[in-house]
A and B are shown apart, each in its own frame.
Chain A
Amino acid sequence: MKRDLKFERFYPHPPERVWKALTNPKALAEWYMENDFQPVVGHKFTFHTDPGPGFDGKLTCEVTLVDEPRQLAYTFIGGYMKRQTLVTWTLVPHNGGTLLTLEHTGFTGLTDVAISFIFGYGWQKFLRGLPHVLDRWVGSKF
């Protein structure tokens, strides 16, 4: 079982405007993250976002696909995620606006099973079976 993140949104704006918001570094800094992005295949750049648990907020990226104004993709690595993940934006004209699909995939090629384990019943079971261990270890750590 594969566990990828996929989101779809409709925006009442033409693909060209959405494309600009996705690829202009100043625009990206306004709604997305601080960056040194350039829409050029092979360009290496960094996104700076809010730090989270186990995550310093820095994402190291490389552009892998630029097909204006249809599709944009870059790899993405940071925090605990030692392996690269891939972020793909797909823009489809729809009813005078844009249907935008965001896919965040490849949360480790080896680990589809691991992801389903963590998200699915395994994780639930893991947590249920563990209160005593958690008390002991988590309690001593924080």
Chain B
Amino acid sequence: MPSTRKTTNNAAGDVFTAVAHPVRRQILDRLALGEMTVSMLAEPFEITRPAISQHLSILLESGLVAIEKRGREHYYQIRPDNLNEIYRWISHFERLWPEKLDDLGDYLDKLKAEEDAEG
């Protein structure tokens, strides 16, 4: 099934891959300052323009970056929603586990009380 860019929700796996490369993180850092054309974006990097474009295409696939066309220029913009969702997903477990371990303690106490009552 072809992936659709519109549903940001489906791209999380790709988001991890996207941010795993240092150059792509630097691109995101730069885009965080504001939208840029590819030549503005490429300025501080010592790698070739095609290499930058390849990193950009991975970022586009992940949904973390989008292009807006205005006149003859293409502006790259950051879309933080996907990263935000991943952060929420992991922080869900950071909150969940300590709660569950508390619940386990309560449950063990209850189990012991039941065993004592039976025995």
Residues of A within 8 A of B (CB): 5, 7, 9, 11, 13, 17-18, 20-22, 27, 30-32, 49, 52-55, 79-83, 100, 102, 104, 107-108, 110-111, 113-115, 117-119, 122-123, 125-126, 129-130, 132-134, 137-138, 141
- B interface, how many residues as a size bin? 35 or more
Residue of A13, A32, A138 ringed by the most chain B CB atoms within 10 A: A13
Residues of B within 8 A of A13 (CB): 108-109, 111-112
B77 proximity list for chain A (CB < 8 A): 133
Contact A137-B107, Cβ < 8 Å, known A49-B96, A83-B13, A114-B20: no
Q: Which residues of B contact A (CB under 8 A)?
A: 9, 12-13, 15-17, 19-20, 22, 25, 28-29, 32-34, 77-81, 83-90, 92-94, 96-98, 100-101, 103-109, 111-112, 115
Max chain B Cβ within 10 angstroms of own Cβ: one of A80, A100, A118: A80
Q: Write the nearest CB–CB distance from A75 to chain B, whole angstroms.
A: 14
Which residues on the A side are within 8 Å of B78 (C-beta)?
Answer: 130, 133
B80 touches A54 (CB 8 A): no
Question: When the two chains form their complex, are residues B88 and A54 in contact, meaning their CB atoms are under 8 A apart?
Answer: yes
A29 to B94, CA, bound (A): 20
How far is the CB of A84 from the nearest CB of chain B, in Å? 11
Decide: A114 near B100, CB < 8 A? Known: A53-B85, A55-B89, A129-B32. no
Instruction: Say yes or no: B79 contacts A137, CB within 8 Å.
Output: yes
Contact: B32 with A130, CB < 8 Å?
A: yes
Given A122-B29, A133-B78, 14 additional A-B pairs, CB 8 A? A7-B97, A11-B104, A11-B108, A53-B85, A54-B89, A55-B89, A83-B16, A111-B16, A118-B90, A130-B80, A133-B32, A133-B77, A137-B80, A141-B81
Q: Report whether A111 and B17 are in contact in the complex, using a CB–CB cutoff of 8 Å.
A: yes
Q: Which residue of B lies closest to A49 (CB)?
A: B96
* Contact A126 B97, beta carbon cutoff 8 Å: no
With beta carbons under 8 angstroms apart, the residue of A22, A110, A132 that contacts B16 is A110
Known: A31-B107, A114-B19. A54 touches B93 (CB 8 A): no
Residues of chain A with a CB closer than 8 A to B22's CB:
113
Q: B25–A117 contact, CB under 8 A?
A: yes
Partner of A9 from the list B16, B87, B101, B106 (CB cut-off 8 Å) is B101
Most chain B beta-carbon contacts within 10 A, residue among A11, A107, A118, A138 = A118
Whether B88 lies near A52 (C-beta < 8 A) is yes
